[in-house]
Chains A and B, each alone.
Chain A
Amino acid sequence: MRVQLDLVPDLFGEDEDGYGTVPGDGSVPVGREDDARRAQANCPEDAVVLEVSR
């Protein structure tokens, strides 16, 4: 599903069909954890999955 890219600009990329992509290895950049959580909390299709690594 397409993610709401406007809410957290530049945290996600976009493929040629407009589907959201996760840049690089998928790690959330330092300092953007709250934005990632917002994206997850707001996705109407629950398509954003966050994993916490230690």
Chain B
Amino acid sequence: MSTTDDRFAQDYQSLRRDPSQNRYNEVVTGPVSDWATDFSHLEPEWAEGAIGVWDDLRGRCPIAHTERFGGAWLPTRYEDVAAIAHDTEHFSSRAIIVSNFRPPLDLAPVGEVPPISSDPPFHHDARKLLLPAFTRSAVGRQEEATRAFCHGLIDGFAGRDVVDAAHEYAQHIPMRVIADMLGFPQEDGPRFRVFVENALEGINLPPEERLERAAELFDYLFAQIRDHVAHPREDLTSYLIEAELYGQKLEPIHVAGTIALLLIAGIDTTWSAIGSSLWHLAGHPEDRRRLAADPGLLSTAMEEFLRAYAPVTMARLVKQDMTWRGAEMKADDWVLLSFPAANRDPDHVDRADEVVIDREVNKHAAFGLGIHRCVGSHLARMELRIALEVWLERIPEFSLADPGGVSWSTGQIRGPRTLPLRIG
């Protein structure tokens, strides 16, 4: 007989960190004066033209700086991004989304959303807990349901000439897959979207509002967790509730933090990758026709879309004042690890600015590098592959209905948020 699990009996508010421990800086918004000295990934110019910004900076800088966010750096060469991603001695993952406050030092090595926010040695053990759920074979079990779901979305387009592929297709696929894996209600998709936007795009909101919105996510997660404690199931939430580390069940805040990570990271990233791939194909009829005619090309094409339109940039915090490859970095400065910029570095990739859908050698960093490399890469690849396969099979002819009406996200996850496509 097991005793009652009362770890989640308290509400999140009572477990939450005292916000006065954070170190806050002034929120600076408005147009960028010079991308090398005043960059911001939260302004509309970035959403429209990030690729051009990286190419420009790589040629002249190559590590940009900004006083915004209390001080942040943006390396743009593959070599620099890779070096920082592999260097956990000088760079911490205590927080991985640039914001206008830093959590206290003693939050390391666990962080708020382990294991992405964890540093060694804790990171290794927290990550290991998740691995079995994301193996290629585990992910393969989601494939048929994902395919059926994609078909269902396209069935819903019957009779329409124009659809928003970002809103009505791309975003729903990872939401459904992660809801099923976590055992959350499928109809909560619209709430997930709000949680994702709050976590990743609401960076320049007043900090107290940001913290309030994060609390709403955790209140929701605690309610779901309690429901799983009362009614255990064969899903990832029940697995994490029962999981043990160092002979003990996880701290309640660790369980909720990891679930928050899986929910947020599982949705926005893949949604963006599917959207960018469809955007590319809609605007490049020669690639679209080739791929529709020869689905065998999808494995290389997909990797090329991941390289050229990598959705994810992760952040680190500088541990101590230091000069790093000429940059005078201060303790607690942010560093944006722009995997998308690294993937377009001509010193790393031939024809870096071209999308070559049959590229044979493609050492891209879309899933990150080093110990924090994406734990869900097999899942993301499965979703992207199925989403594109089903779309191309059902809608081989499509184009941009309104090129000016396409909008891209700001912040660390890059992808189309409005994508009107002509399908009929």
Chain A residues packing against B (C-beta within 8 Å): 1-2, 4-7, 14, 16-19, 38, 41-45
Contact B137 A14 (CB under 8 A): yes
Known: A6-B299, A44-B369, A45-B369. A16 touches B135 (CB 8 A): yes
A-contact 0/1 string along B345-380, CB 8 Å cutoff: 000000000000000111111010100010001100
Residues on B with C-beta less than 8 A from A1 are: 373
B287: min CB distance to chain A, Å: 20
Could you name 27 residue pairs across A and B whose Cβ atoms are closer than 8 Å? A1-B373, A2-B373, A2-B377, A5-B136, A6-B136, A6-B299, A6-B378, A7-B303, A14-B135, A16-B132, A16-B135, A17-B128, A17-B132, A17-B135, A18-B134, A18-B138, A19-B131, A38-B360, A41-B360, A41-B361, A41-B363, A42-B303, A42-B361, A44-B364, A44-B365, A44-B367, A45-B369
- Dominant SS at the B interface? helix
Contact B131 A18 (CB under 8 A): yes
Known: A2-B373, A42-B363. A17 touches B299 (CB 8 A): no
6 additional contacts, CB 8 Å, given A14-B136, A44-B369?
A4-B377, A16-B131, A18-B132, A18-B138, A44-B363, A45-B369
Task: State in angstroms the CA–CA spacing of A19 and B373 once bound together.
Answer: 12
Q: Is B41 an interface residue (CB 8 A)?
A: no
Task: State in angstroms the CA–CA spacing of A6 and B381 once bound together.
Answer: 9
Q: Pick the 9 closest A-B CB pairs, nearest first.
A: A18-B135, A17-B131, A41-B361, A44-B363, A18-B131, A5-B136, A14-B136, A14-B135, A16-B132
Which of chain A's residues has its CB closest to B370's CB? A45
Task: State in angstroms the CA–CA spacing of A16 and B262 once bound together.
Answer: 20
Residues on A with C-beta less than 8 A from B367 are: 44
Residues on B with C-beta less than 8 A from A6 are: 136, 299, 378, 381, 385
Residues on B with C-beta less than 8 A from A16 are: 131-132, 135
Task: State in angstroms the CA–CA spacing of A19 and B134 once bound together.
Answer: 10
Q: Which of B133-180 contact A (CB under 8 A)?
A: 134-138
Residues on B with C-beta less than 8 A from A7 are: 299, 303
How big is chain B's contact interface, by range?
Answer: 20 to 34
Contact B360 A18 (CB under 8 A): no
Residues on A with C-beta less than 8 A from B385 are: 6
Task: State in angstroms the CA–CA spacing of A41 and B128 once bound together.
Answer: 27
Residues on A with C-beta less than 8 A from B131 are: 16-19
B211: min CB distance to chain A, Å: 34
Residues on B with C-beta less than 8 A from A17 are: 128, 131-132, 135
A6: min CB distance to chain B, Å: 6
Which of B132, B136, B367, B381 counts the most A-chain CB atoms under 10 A from its CB? B136
Which of chain A's residues has its CB closest to B360's CB? A38
Task: State in angstroms the CA–CA spacing of A40 and B132 once bound together.
Answer: 24
Known: A2-B373, A7-B299. A18 touches B363 (CB 8 A): no
Residues on B with C-beta less than 8 A from A19 are: 131
B361: min CB distance to chain A, Å: 4
B134: min CB distance to chain A, Å: 6
Which of chain B's residues has its CB closest to A43's CB? B363
Task: State in angstroms the CA–CA spacing of A14 and B135 once bound together.
Answer: 8
Residues on B with C-beta less than 8 A from A14 are: 135-137
Task: State in angstroms the CA–CA spacing of A20 and B155 once bound together.
Answer: 38
Residues on A with C-beta less than 8 A from B134 are: 18
Task: State in angstroms the CA–CA spacing of A17 and B138 once bound together.
Answer: 10
Residues on A with C-beta less than 8 A from B381 are: 6
